[in-house]
Amino acid sequence: MIRLSIRFAGAMALAALFLPVLQASAQQDVPAAPAAQAPSGPAPATLVFPKPDPANFTAASPSQETINAFLKANWGYDENRVWEIWAIQKTEVDGISRVVLLVGDKTGKQKLVPSQFYVLPDGKHIFADDEILPFGANPFAEARVIVQQRANGPYRGSASKDLEIVEFASFLCPHCKEAQPNMEKLVADFPKARIVFQNIPMLMNPASASAAAYGYCVSKQGGSDSFFTYVAAVFDGQAGFSSEDGTTLTLNSAVTKAGLDPATIAACAKTPATHAAIDDMVKLAQDLKINQTPTLVINGRPVPATFPYDTLKQIILYQAKMDGVTAQ
């Protein structure tokens, strides 16, 4: 069985929101920026950016229009965030351009932060903080198509994939358990969304693999309602996975609560077809470069599922607007 290495620490800020990485990666070797001049007083009304130096724009591509569209796609949900393109520079490597930004907030209360990333020769990807990410005016479009075609886990809400929110999670992941209140709120607040559960077993953990296999069989034999009852029961009993006997008792209890026969589900979980199905789920996460749980993929856009709920809701509404689909 294919296993995916899952890291449980921290939010996946790079792929989801992009700003934390830019802040971290651009603290050295950026064109010097004069201090911004903002109105005096304890609560500035607006932010004034220093004027960029034309000498810092030496690369023919990408265009400022493409960069701004890319940043709008990533940051536009936050109406308070503003930026200035400070440089688009040639580098020592042919075809690789260096983009430098100044990032702030509209009020001018926060200090301007210099940030940078590198656009690769294909013009479709960037390199930032040891990660390669999609770039362009519609950076999530390709991932959205992949998810629509291959995210076939149990779901709640609409059968339509116009607004598809896919939760990549592992049953033994503590942060995945913590994210479940957010997921329940999303189900209630976005009835027109298709909210899918994609299970990813933890690397080298037999209990995690068993929970995933049981979950797959529950969904196949009992449908989505039984599956999500199983999900809640497994997360509630997460402490029981500390031993082999505890794992068996926890899984059997969850299956019973889902209204199914534990022996039947156990037999199904051992079949090659079930193992192949779990492998496909893991392969989808790998192809989307998802290596942390819990992660939500909102119409192709990855976001940590443990974000504050108001932020998640804001991002979903914005992504739906960008894609021209009804959110609620």
The answer for residues whose C-beta is within 8 angstroms of residue 52's C-beta and 6 or more apart is 84, 85, 86, 87
pLDDT score at 291: 84
- Going from the C-alpha of 181 to that of each of 186, 292, 305, the distances in angstroms are 9, 19, 10
pLDDT score at 154: 97
Q: Residue 32 is encoded by which pair of tokens?
A: 């010097």
pLDDT score at 45: 52
Domains of the chain as residue ranges with CATH: 13-134 (no CATH), 141-323 (3.40.30.10)
Q: What does pLDDT average to in each consecutive run of 10 residues of the chain (328 residues)?
A: 32 37 38 42 62 95 97 95 96 97 88 94 94 95 97 96 97 96 97 96 89 97 97 97 95 98 98 96 94 95 96 97 93
The answer for residues whose C-beta is within 8 angstroms of residue 294's C-beta and 6 or more apart is 167, 168, 169, 173, 175, 176, 179, 304, 305, 306
Residue with tokens 């209890």: 253
pLDDT score at 29: 47
Q: Which amino acid is at 258?
A: A
Phi, psi (deg, nearest 5) at residue 57: -110, 85
- Going from the C-alpha of 202 to that of each of 199, 224, 233, 314, the distances in angstroms are 10, 23, 19, 30
pLDDT score at 285: 95
Beta-carbon neighbour count of residue 120 at 10 Å?
Answer: 17
The pTM assigned to this predicted structure is: 0.85
